[in-house]
Structure 1
Amino acid sequence: MPEHIPGQPSERTPGRPSDRAPRDGSAEFSGRTVLVTGAGQGIGASVATSFAALGARVAATDLRTDGIEGLAAEHPGITAYAMDVTDRRSVDDTVAKAEADLGPIDVLVNVAGVLRPGPTVELSDEDWAFTFAVNSTGVFHTSRAVGAGMTERASGCIVTVGSNAAGVPRANMAAYAASKAAAAAFTKCLGLELAPYGIRCNVVAPGSTDTAMQRSLWTDEQAPQRVIDGDLATYRTGIPLGRIADPQDIADSVVFLASDRARHITMQELYVDGGATLR
């Protein structure tokens, strides 16, 4: 693999799984069923392929099917399901179908998310509502649908991929930050309610990650380095580790929290942002 210059976008196509392959050769999740939302690209795709490489049966879900169908064609352990997280019926039907096909869901990973940036005073009602419908209500729909079965079986794990923007103010990202903060709080409350059943609920909060969403904010070749350096004019710190995350960095954290190695960890928010939030 060619050397990657820190701060510069890689040559891979954004939205596809990382070219840094997930670890394999392990059956850590053999016999388990994992449902991943937003699996068609970026972090979601890396999460889906990571679990498949570790032996899981993966239900890869997304509103658009081209990405998840490509994953299913490349990875025998992945099955594609079209699902709209904003639609309760779509979620309930898809969860039922996936469990009928693959077995009871052991792990749910909420990744589906959208970003509509802009000054708060210029945000439309539709921008605000849609952002919350996907980033917050979508997490509620899927967690409720999957959590009901987990409660009956007294077993399971839920990981929500949030954002470090939920923990620090970001200019021109009010709807995104607020929706991610809501999803994080929801996941922790759910974890408290489900703890008596042995079900763990945690949050992974990425910082800037090399995905199609991140690249949509870049306007020139110097944009990645500006992200690393930070911007005093917008009160945004840089990234102390000096690099933008790869989707696989986030997927590895999700896999850990879903594993038995994290069996005593619940209601936690793991920041995976290279130190950008200084926490």
Structure 2
Amino acid sequence: MTPNVRPLVAGNWKMNGTRDSLDQIKAISEGVKGDLSEKVESLICPPATLLYVATALCEDSPLWIGAQDCHQNAAGAHTGEISADMIADCFGTHVIVGHSERRTDHAETDHLVRAKAIAAHAAELTAIVCIGETADERKGGQTLDILKRQLAGSVPDGADAENTVIAYEPVWAIGTGVTPTSENVAEAHAFMRTELTRRFGAEGAKMRILYGGSVKPSNAKELMSVENVDGALIGGASLKASDFLAIYNAYAEILA
């Protein structure tokens, strides 16, 4: 953890969830009420089809609702796309940009991710900028070089600790059940902290850096206790309220 930084536990539902899944969001929204919510923020990013109704469900809860992607333009002839302003219009508060699945499946570049983060900021959304290396890049000893390049290229100059969150997601750990060691995570997060502080000064020193990649109740406490890890971006484990809340509640022990 980073001293004096409020952690964020976020769930990315990816292409999962229908109206039947709203019961899970409701259960999460109820489960995060209480004293811990004053110390730890929580967020669920459902598919866009559920965004508006999910925000309505969470109106009296500290649970934030966000989106999984946005277009870099505010409006226009972009069939099937969703703008940051549309997310804000549905009362969304955050948007994930640059997730490895977008980078891989849609060939998104650092330049495009930066443009999306700028669009998010313009709509007064918090951008969660994802970065991370592939298995081949790690095996080739390129991890820190990749993180340096992606941070420099994907994070806009207007980023600060309020409007930007960094999510480190080693691509080889996403959805595989394989998790880096605490030492691996500590090295990556310390490097990113140094880079952010060098570029953004005091804002970079307190910008949240989440860890994502096979986070589950059984390893949450260990991972989220690592220095410079300021929360988690959770995939599959966020689909069930019981699993998400178990990860969220790990902070009750960490912060005790």
Task: Tell me the TM-score normalized by structure 1.
Answer: 0.36
Larger relative contact order (C-alpha < 8 A, sep ≥ 6)?
2
Task: Tell me the TM-score normalized by structure 2.
Answer: 0.38
Larger radius of gyration between Structure 1 and Structure 2: 1
